[in-house]
A and B are shown apart, each in its own frame.
Chain A
Amino acid sequence: MRTANRVASLLLAATLLAGGALLAVQALLITLDRPAPLLAPTGWYDTLTSARWRDPGVRAVAGGAVLLGLAVLAAQLRRWTPVRLRVDERDGWYLHRRCVERRLADAASTVPGVRRARVRVRRRGAEWRPRVRATGDPAARAEVEFAVHQELHHLAAPRTGRIEVRLLPREWPV
């Protein structure tokens, strides 16, 4: 969502800059009695003067704007996953969440037979709760848990809660 917000803001800024500059230049051209093709009343003026408020097209656009607005509002107001994981409150030390998850996934993938590991780390109070999803033999669960524990120790992570490991057996091609 953060990246989407940044990209959308950049697009909005570029649109405002280009549209505003174009409008100002065209309006000044009209003031000076010079031809201004974009503001000349052609197609868009006929459309707006012929369309009625009750037209289905107007209702569809208004409904679309309401739905889009509600979707954006819901996306902005819901709780976002923090980008950082707190390690120690006393010395203000944080680790970047994506880096930690990638490191733990790499650690899980070192276990023989385990592939495509993905890790999500949630924080409950001062505790970290890693959740590992991977493809491999379900019997390797303890080894994956050990590897993740070792990596957490390497990262000087705080107290860790239960490590949830889910290993899906490899799907053989038919």
Chain B
Amino acid sequence: MTDAAHRLLWTIVALLLVAGGTVTLAASFGVLPGGDPGAALLSAGFLTRWRLATPWTTLAAAVAGALLALTGHRLLGWELRPPRSAVRGTLSHPGRRPGRTRLRADVLVHALERDLTGGPGVRRAQVVLTGAPPRPDVWIRVDLTADARAAGVRDHVRAAVRRFAATAGCQPAHLDVTARIEPGRP
């Protein structure tokens, strides 16, 4: 999940907490119309009504529990899933002569990562493609060694992206490169 998704999730949770707490406080001070602050939180006849409606009430509780568990499972999946390339499938180019050139997107990503990692000072590279295949957005993360010269690595990345564009025949619409440099005494 992205940072923005986390922010949205916890903003919704916070709003629910504020709304729930405010309504409970209003009921507790008798501000709510028709509310009785002296009434019990759960009426004594609740258990009788619950038992009278069995098995529908217990089945409804089971369904609610299953939905909660499913929500938790999906959320856990989103949290633990590593980011993946959004562009999948095959890039296809019609040639001048009869025939087409087909390239698998994940092979292109792997090729760009290998090209980037081959540069001096680049320890690891991760590439994600998003957007439409003819002009994809290219997101690159490079981990640099402590002695890497940032200017040299920038030139290397620029050249690798040029080679990628020439090989795949798709010019990146947007290029985003984030570099992380290892700590080390200069």
Contact = CB atoms under 8 A, between A and B. Distances in A.
A30 interface: yes
B185 A110 contact: yes
Interface stretch (B88-96, B98-106, B124-132, B175-183): B175-183
Interface in B131-186: 149-151, 154, 157-158, 174-186
Contacts of B175: 91-92
Contacts of A80: 3
B75 A13 contact: yes
Given A51-B41, A156-B154, A23 B21 contact: no
Contacts, number: 236
A120 to B, nearest CB: 16
A66 B95 CA distance: 64
Interface residues of B, number: 74
A155 B17 contact: no
A159 to B, nearest CB: 15
A52 B40 contact: yes
B111 interface: no
Contact of A73 (B14, B68, B181): B14
Candidate in B1, B46, B150, B182 with the most chain A CB atoms within 10 angstroms: B150
What's the interface size class on A, roughly?
A: 35 or more
| Interface of B: prevailing SS | helix
A32 to B, nearest CB: 9
Contacts of A64: 21
Contact of B9 (A9, A14, A15, A70): A9
Contact of B150 (A53, A58, A154): A154
A23 B63 CA distance: 9
Contact of B76 (A17, A31, A106, A154): A17
A5 to B, nearest CB: 4
B15 A73 contact: yes
A80 B182 CA distance: 24
A10 B76 CA distance: 6
B37 interface: yes
A5 B174 contact: no
A52 B39 contact: yes
A18 B72 CA distance: 8
Contact of B58 (A31, A93, A95): A31
A65 B10 contact: no
Interface string A35-75: 00001010001001111111100110111111111101101
Given A13-B73, A53-B24, 14 more contacts: A12-B13, A24-B62, A27-B59, A48-B41, A48-B42, A62-B20, A84-B178, A91-B177, A92-B177, A103-B181, A147-B186, A154-B149, A156-B149, A156-B151
Interface of A: 2, 5-6, 8-10, 12-28, 30-31, 39, 41, 45, 48-55, 58-59, 61-70, 72-73, 75-77, 80, 84, 87-88, 91-96, 99-100, 102-103, 106-107, 110, 147, 150-151, 154-156
Interface of B: 1, 3, 6-7, 9-11, 13-22, 24-25, 27-30, 35-44, 46-47, 54-55, 58-59, 61-73, 75-76, 79, 149-151, 154, 157-158, 174-186
